[in-house]
Amino acid sequence: MAKIKLSEKKLEELKAVCKSFNNEKGELINVLHKAQGIFGYLPAEVQEVISKELNVSVAHVYGIVTFYSFFTMTPKGEHPVSICLGTACYVRGAEKVLEEFKRVLKIQVGETTPDGKFSLSCLRCVGACGLAPVVLVGEKVYGRVSPDGVKDIVAEYNS
């Protein structure tokens, strides 16, 4: 695992977050949410700091991070692409859309493009089943996406 130095400022921010939850073990998941908000992901260093601050073992923190799919240890791309694979989207062809994204971006699910621009993930139901299949790029929702439309979506962010 590559050694990443945490910036002093963000580290202080992280410690302040822990403190705002009274450094309580029970608040671990809340702390991790905030930490991921600060760093964009949860590298080992961040987990170690949290473990110290909340006085729980690093193994425990890691056990939590790897249990919940919301938490990630790899930095997301500048434009995280999420394909909804909820049932409604699935029966309306989300898998093909996913395949096309994999092909166009040349990455697999959970990966980030080498230039750091895009990352690809799947999610379950965003509640826009009327627009199925649905793709999210960052916060923006694309509805009724067809494999044909994938190139255009990517192009929007590639200019």
What is the contact surface with another protein in residues (CB under 8 A)?
1, 3-4, 6, 24-30, 32-33, 43-45, 47-49, 51-52, 56-64, 66-71, 85-92, 96, 99-100, 103, 123-132, 134, 141, 143, 147-148
Q: What are phi and psi of 112, to 5 degrees?
A: -125, 140
Alpha carbon distance 96, 29 (integer Å): 34
In angstroms, rounded to a whole number, what is the distance separating the alpha carbons of residues 32 and 45? Answer: 13
Q: Which of 106, 134, 113, 114 is nearest to 122 (CA)?
A: 134
Query: In angstroms, how far is CA 11 from the centroid of its own chain?
Result: 20
- Find residue 121's DSSP bridge partners: 82
Least CB distance from residue 98 to another protein, whole Å?
A: 12
CB of 143 to another protein, least distance (A): 6
Report whether 112 contacts 77 (CB < 8 A).
Answer: yes
Q: How far is the CB of 115 from another protein (least distance, A)?
A: 22
Beta carbon of residue 112, minimum distance to another protein (angstroms, whole number): 19
Query: Backbone phi, then psi, for 63, in 5-degree steps?
Result: -60, -35
